[in-house]
Amino acid sequence: MSGLLSTPGILRVSSLSPSSPSRYLKMLLNWYQGLSLASFFVPGSALLRFSCSQLVTERLDPLVNPGVVGSPHLHQIIGGNTFNATMDPKTLSIPDAATCTTCTFAEDFSNYWTAVLFFRARNGTYKRVPQKGNVFFEESNGGMTVYYIPSYQNTKVTAFKPYLPSKLDDANRRNLDMPKKPCPAGIMANLRFPTCWDGVNLDSADHSSHVSYPQGGTFENGAPCPTTHPVKIPQLFYEIVWDTTAFNNPKDWPEDGSQPFVWSYGDATGFGNHGDYVFGWKGDALQKAMDTNCNGDKCNGLSYQAIKNGNACTKKPSVNEELSGCT
């Protein structure tokens, strides 16, 4: 695996090379088991890693363009089926209104969404790149893998509050090393969200200034939260695996050796990706998970649903349009 690193702790994109499926699995197993063993020996710590299948792909963004049906660019969304153009916390209780979720933790009706990736062929056509299930979640209908990590230093965290949204807008951060040759196993993108909250506001005008990253270091090394945002919250982390295997014909790739991938908001120079999140866990389920020794996709006290049940939770797009690509 060749790691293509953007801003540390923000966005990471990796291209999976010819020999990398087994290498990646081994790396992930070592990384995941290491975290699990670490948390096993630290009382009160936890690591949730679970699958959320695709809910819908459409042009809605209730944080940036609330009430707009047909937002400027396309998103892929996972989580509870209450996702809509407004998501107004004054009128909507997400866990009460939802009737299903695409996530394997049945109490999680949150919504998580990111931009969509397109392949721009040599002939000028665009095709949407689908997601595929991650390691251990291969039967998932696309979607993402979601992590909640409380602390690597056995520090108590406060679970997100009802509605509490967070927007990771990385659209202006770019790395010019997107893959310039076919990747037989696909491309993985990782997104890490802020881990400090101001403790007062459930939202802010830009949907991001009420939360912050640690000061003088990273979440991983236990850096403190700034005084303006003193409340530690879990590390929310997405993994998205883009299945590029349908686009591996070298004859479709640019003749000049440039990379052919374009984000749905028009970024063709790199991968300034972004992600959004609206909290929708039922009751105090997430806090219980963060306070106990839960590891992986099972947790005592939380309900588990099979991936096939998550696959069955879908929504029709609000905008009737072609989503697979264009010429």
DSSP 8-state code for residue 250 = G
The pLDDT score that the predictor gives to residue 281 is 96
User: Mean pLDDT over residues 148-157, rounded?
Assistant: 86
The pLDDT score that the predictor gives to residue 54 is 98
Q: Is the pLDDT of residue 297 over 50?
A: yes
Cα dihedral 166, 315, 96, 94 in deg (nearest 10)? 10
Q: Is the pLDDT of residue 164 over 50?
A: yes
Spans of all domains in the chain: 2-326
At 311, is the secondary structure helix, strand, or coil? helix
The structure tokens 């089926």 sit at 81
Mean pLDDT over each residue of the chain, to the nearest integer: 82
pLDDT tens for 222-278 read: 899 999 999 999 999 999 999 999 999 999 999 998 899 999 988 877 556 788 989
User: Mean pLDDT over residues 189-197, rounded?
Assistant: 91
Is residue 168 within 8 Å of residue 275, measured between CB atoms?
yes
DSSP 8-state code for residue 316 = -
For the record, the structure tokens of 294 come out as 């839960």
- Show the beta-strand stretches assigned E in the chain: 2-5, 11-15, 47-52, 54-58, 75-79, 111-115, 117-120, 126-128, 144-149, 163-169, 187-192, 196-197, 211-212, 231-232, 235-242, 261-263, 274-279, 295-296, 325-326
Question: DSSP string spanning 165-228?
Answer: EEEEE-TT---S-S-SS--TT-EEEEEE---EE-SS-S--TTSSTTEE--SSS-TTTTPPPPTT
The pLDDT score that the predictor gives to residue 147 is 96
Pairing mode, if any, of strands 295-296 and 117-120? unpaired
> How would you write 213-249 as a 3-class SS string?
CCCCCCCCCCCCCCCCCCEECCEEEEEEEECCHHHCC
